[in-house]
Amino acid sequence: MKEINLDKLQKLWNHATKNANEHEASTAALMFTKMIAKHGLKVHLYSGQSPATEQQIREAIDEAYIKGQMEAKETYQRILERRQNEFYNEGFRDGQSNSYTKEDINRAYEKGYHQGQKEVSIQKAPPTPLASHIAYPDTGNVLVSNSGTTNQLFIQNGTASASFTIKCSGL
């Protein structure tokens, strides 16, 4: 396939569109169209500024990407600064009011934690099936369960004046 002479093609276009002689302009236009058809070219006509080239589009995309990265970095930096200022302001207000510091709160927590470990911890009793009567010989208390349609627990300590009834619903 023969090389395309773009300069010649441009000259034919200019001669066909800007020539005052009608016959010369039509001859140049005919030669232009034959040259386009011969080489299988596509012609795009536009008015005003030419459309962006592939290189210009890539540069615009790269520029927008970099701009987006910079904006995200600046936004993150502002968020960090705002958060730091909030901590500063909270500390400043606490300092002015002579209130508790973070160390004061940590010391109180540690003190309570260690005191809790020194105390005897509550042991969980192993689960046992509930019988109708459970006697606790050490205390003299008796646990009685009613197995009817309502759920009731009776706790008796051997005297009539110290009985308790617990009614349970939804069980």
Question: How many domains, in total, are found in the chain?
Answer: 3
Asked whether residue 122 is assigned to any structural domain, the reply reads no
pLDDT tens for each residue of 118-132? 876 666 666 655 545
Q: Is the pLDDT of residue 144 over 90?
A: no
Domain that holds residue 151: 133-168
- Tell me: do 21 and 56 sit in the same domain: no
| pTM, two decimal places | 0.32
Residues 62 and 90 in one domain: yes
Return the residue matching tokens 């970099």.
Answer: 66
**CB–CB of 29/14 below 8 Å?**
no
31-43: string of b/e by CB count within 10 Å (b at 16+)?
Answer: bbeebbeeeeeee
Q: How far is CA 2 from CA 5, 6, 35, 49, 130, in A?
A: 9, 12, 11, 31, 104
| pLDDT tens, position by position, 8-23 | 888 888 888 887 788 9
pLDDT in tens, 74-98: 999 999 999 888 888 887 877 777 7
User: Which pLDDT score is estimated for 75?
Assistant: 94
The backbone torsions φ and ψ at residue 135, rounded to the nearest 5 degrees and listed phi first, read: -105, 140
What confidence category does residue 1 fall into, taking pLDDT thresholds of 50, 70 and 90? very low
Q: How confident is the model at residue 103 (pLDDT cuts 50, 70, 90)?
A: confident
Residue 26, in any domain of the structure:
yes
